[in-house]
Amino acid sequence: MLFRNAVPVQRVEGEGTKLPKIKSLLVDKFAPDPIVESLAEVDEDILNAFLSDRRFPTIEVLRELSRLTAARKIVPIYFGAAAQGLGVPELLDGICQILPPPRGNSDADLSALTFKIESKSALGRISHVRIFNGSIKHGTTVHNCTSGKDEKPTRILKLQPGQGYVPVSGLEAGDIGLLCGLKHTSIGHILGGDDAVPALANQVEPLLTARIVPEVEAGWGELLEALRELEDEEPLLNVEWLEEQREINVRFFGEVQMEIVLGLLLSRFNIRAQFSKPRIIYKETPKKSSKARVELRTHGFADIEIQIEPLPPGSGFQYEHAVRADKVYYKFMKQIPNLLDEARRHGPQGWEVTDFKATLLDGDSRYDMGTTYADFKIVTPQVLGKALKLAGTHLLEPIMTFEINVPEIYRSDIFRDLVKMRAQFTDPAPQHGRLTFSGTVPFVEIFEHTATLYASSHGQGAITTAFAGYRELNASGGR
């Protein structure tokens, strides 16, 4: 299985033949033990009943599947091949039987989530939204509480059976539809209020970066514009244009995604491009606290003094100011956090600086001396760079949690591989002839040596990983 809480409710017969068949595991009066065991792993009441040798009627198991799916404790697995029409009716029946129905109050204030962005020549920019509460009517203004902007959709469409997406006058709670013409709305943005939108899982950040170049030297502008459009549809691509170096960097999850992007560039935009070899994305963090001051006199009059302090891992970037409003004009002061945030993207070692706090201690601006915003745009990166140079920075590497389930006979081979990969783990106890190694490992090792682990398990191992954060690169064990 690809993940731990997967619960297959079907089996495939004749796999690999021209006429495979999909059989339900929930057709008899009582449910089979493997399904009940999967439910017992996440529910203590079911576990106690199962251990007392109680048999579970299929109708009761269906209710428990629905309850635990709604609680996000399990994921029922259906099999099928849409191109051959296999398993589609059963999947649709399963959606109706197991997934909870849409809920919401159409009379309440609007609360909706944007989950997809598309661009089409006939409709322009399209936002796919799910309405949790309230409604959106044609011709009304919608407030985006994520971006803080108000926008008016030019068209509203809804999927109708047998007709595709058709124009409608509005969407109500429980609906999924399309809003056209929202220029300042992106994936994950909330329309209206966020009170009814469920808490979303933290999105994993890309851990690979690569430089992309067009095959035609004059195609930089078209390539950047196309990548920006793709970034709109998938924000985690994180396209970065370095104007001075004439370089475009793109962040990814894996090499397969790189191939997909190249395919989209060719099929949608008729642009041929090439990627460099991907690099692991590292980060930096200050070694100690420091203060720095920079005074600008060449263009106008702008002084900044800041203090930086290291913070615990996972804290990110924090900012506060301790300077009087009469020292730095408010219009300039409110821009300093954004300028610092932008400047920290390129630290002394070339990576993003994180897990620190920057405090504006002092500053000065003089309108009578011609101070402008451009002066602070120059001086802010300089003062942060000076403070980071004084403090020095530790390099941080991305870390993954992992689980490796293998037959017991391969214990020593997997143990040896994990030690070589600088993994931190405990030696597991065997269970039913198999072992599950779990712990943490640097991403660079998983990226480069996953094939080695599969080879050591002779193709009988299952590996799952998840991003765990960043950790200081050990000079003795790192690279």
Structure-token match 């409709």, residue found? 123
Evaluate whether 101 touches 76 at the Cβ level (below 8 Å). Answer: no
Mean pLDDT, all residues of the chain: 89
State the average pLDDT over residues 244-259. 86
Architecture of the structural domain at 396-472: 2-Layer Sandwich (3.30)
Average pLDDT (29-46) is 92
pLDDT given for residue 23 in this prediction = 92
For the segment 369-382, the average pLDDT, to the nearest whole number, is: 83
Task: Please determine, for residue 3, whether its predicted confidence score (pLDDT) is greater than 80.
Answer: no
pLDDT at 353: 97
| Stretch 211-231: mean pLDDT | 91
For residue 15, the one-letter residue type is E
CA-wise closest residue to 22 among 14, 12, 35 = 12
Res 479: pLDDT = 42
Beta sheet of 190-192, edge-to-edge order:
149-151, 142-144, 190-192, 111-120, 124-133, 176-180, 155-160, 164-167
- Where are the domain boundaries for CATH 3.30.70.870 in the chain? 208-279
- Between the alpha carbon of residue 469 and those of residues 3, 211, 253, 466, the distances in Å are 20, 24, 14, 9
The hierarchical CATH code for the domain 111-192 is 2.40.30.10
Distance CA 402, CA 421 (A): 12
CATH 3.30.70.240 in the chain is located at 396-472
Q: How confident is the model at residue 402 (pLDDT cuts 50, 70, 90)?
A: very high
Measured in residues, the chain has a length of: 479
339-361 per-position pLDDT tens digit: 999 999 999 999 999 999 999 99
- For position 202, what pLDDT does the model report? 57
Beta strands 6-8; 75-77: pairing state: parallel
pLDDT (tens digit per residue) in 175-202: 999 999 999 898 889 999 988 888 765 5
Closest by CA to 320, choosing from 359, 361, 364, 362, is 359
Q: Which of 135, 115, 118, 127 is nearest to 175 (CA)?
A: 135
The CATH class, in words, for 208-279 is alpha beta
More confident residue, 368 or 135: 135
Angle of helix 336-343 versus helix 373-391 axis, rounded to 10? 50
Check the CA dihedral 405-408-410-412 and report its sign.
positive
Q: Which CATH architecture has domain 284-391?
A: 2-Layer Sandwich (3.30)
Residues of the chain with CATH 2.40.30.10: 111-192
pLDDT range class, residue 82, cuts 50, 70, 90? confident
| pLDDT of residue 273 exceeding 90 | yes
Tokens for 383, please give them.
Answer: 């003062």
Residue 2, helix vs strand vs coil = coil
User: 69 falls in which pLDDT band (50, 70, 90)?
Assistant: very high
State the average pLDDT over residues 279-288.
96
* Whole-number Å distance between alpha carbons of 213 and 248: 7
pLDDT at res. 475: 43
What does the alpha-carbon distance between residue 351 and residue 341 come to, in Å, rounded to a whole number?
13
**In which band, very low, low, confident or very high, does the pLDDT at 444 lie, cut at 50, 70 and 90?**
very high
Helix pair angle (33-40, 44-51), 10° resolution: 140
Residues in CB range of 121: below 8 A, 6 or more apart = none
Phi, psi of 466 (to 5 degrees): -150, 145
Tokens 């509460």 sit on residue: 133
pLDDT of residue 298: 67
What pLDDT is stored for residue 477 in this prediction?
Answer: 44
Position 367 scores a pLDDT of 62
Confidence check: pLDDT of 85 > 90: no
